[in-house]
């Protein structure tokens, strides 16, 4: 039996998504919760595998991460959701579970992913773990113009860790959308896939554009030739959320 899981989590206290032997991770916590739920359920149930749509870094959150589990169980999806949530810590929650086709794979079947970055324009007592507070006044329209240079197919080698990537650094970005209200600037970016630290470095560069420290010509150069400059402006993980994963209908 294969199930598709929709998950939300606060990544503040986790060393990212991927299971590690000596660190607390979201995937590791989910595996433990599933195994405990199966141990307590009547009849024989066994977890075979649990995989996510992609890795989120240490401190990064998810509004809707998608994962799949391969298992042997007779439990219905809504019963399984209830039992697993009972075993999970309060900062991880399964929003829904549904049966999936045997060919479905949370990562390989995904066509695109969308991230949200939240920038706070003021000091906040409640939202500190979920925003990047910037004291400087940012020009959101300038940021938006700069963001459009990054849409389409581009080489984001300058916005990743080259020695950590064993895949192509060319990424198809569907859109980058910047909106603001009285308290927040929101950056949404949807792409075919993302490189390690890519969203945080794109955000950092856009913020520097909003401050007037980086020009649109600089961005064109970063995309045309490798540069270490974006690494200096890597945004903190606190404001970053995996917002949605897209699959074929």
What does the pLDDT look like over 139-160, one tens digit per residue?
999 999 999 999 999 999 999 9
Q: Which CATH class is domain 111-247?
A: alpha beta
Q: Tell me: the pLDDT tens digits for 193-210?
A: 999 999 999 999 999 999
Q: Tell me: the pLDDT tens digits for 224-245?
A: 999 999 999 999 999 999 999 9
Q: Do the first three CATH levels of 2-99 and 111-247 match, i.e. the same topology?
A: yes
40 pLDDT above the threshold of 70: yes
- Are 158 and 171 in contact, with CB atoms under 8 Å apart? no
**How do strand 240-247 and strand 61-72 relate by DSSP bridges?**
parallel
Domain parsing of the chain, residue ranges: 2-99, 111-247
Structure tokens at 34: 């599933």
The reported pTM is 0.93
What confidence score (pLDDT) does residue 104 get?
94
165 pLDDT above the threshold of 60: no
Mean pLDDT estimate for the chain: 94
DSSP 52: E
Structure tokens at 189: 């970016």
Distances from the Cα of 112 to the Cαs of 108, 173, 174, 212, 226, in angstroms? 10, 9, 9, 31, 25
The hierarchical CATH code for the domain 2-99 is 3.30.70.580
What confidence score (pLDDT) does residue 164 get?
61
What confidence score (pLDDT) does residue 161 get?
83
Q: Which of 10, 49, 57, 139 is catalytic?
A: 57
Examine the residue annotation and report whether 49 is marked as an active-site residue of this protein: no
What confidence score (pLDDT) does residue 166 get?
65
Average pLDDT over residues 51-72: 95
Whole-number Å distance between alpha carbons of 72 and 136: 54
* Per-residue b or e along 107-133, where b marks 16 or more CB atoms closer than 10 Å to that residue's CB: bebbebbbbbbbbbbeeeeebeebbbe
């Amino acid at each position: 039996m294969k199930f598709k899981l929709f998950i939300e989590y606060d990544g503040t206290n986790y060393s990212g998504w991927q299971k590690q032997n000596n660190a607390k991770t979201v995937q590791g916590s989910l595996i433990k919760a599933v195994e405990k739920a199966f141990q307590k359920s009547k009849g024989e149930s066994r977890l075979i595998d649990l995989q996510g749509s992609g890795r989120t870094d240490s401190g990064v959150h998810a509004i809707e991460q998608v994962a799949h589990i391969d298992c042997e169980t007779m439990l219905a999806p809504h019963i399984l959701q209830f039992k697993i949530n009972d075993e999970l810590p309060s900062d991880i929650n399964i929003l829904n579970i549904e049966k999936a086709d045997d060919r479905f794979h949370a990562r390989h079947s995904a066509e695109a992913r969308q991230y949200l970055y939240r920038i706070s324009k003021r000091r906040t007592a409640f939202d500190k773990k979920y925003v990047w507070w910037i004291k400087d006044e940012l020009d959101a329209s300038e940021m938006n113009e700069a963001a459009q240079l990054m849409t389409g197919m581009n080489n984001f080698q300058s916005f990743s860790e080259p020695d950590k990537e064993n895949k192509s650094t060319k990424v198809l970005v569907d859109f980058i959308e910047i909106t603001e209200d009285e308290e927040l600037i929101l950056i949404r970016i949807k792409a075919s896939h993302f490189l390690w630290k890519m969203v945080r470095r794109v955000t950092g560069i856009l913020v520097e554009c909003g401050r007037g420290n980086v020009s649109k010509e600089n961005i064109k150069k970063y995309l045309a030739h490798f540069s270490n400059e974006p690494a200096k402006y890597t945004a903190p993980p606190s404001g970053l959320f995996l917002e949605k994963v897209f699959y074929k209908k």
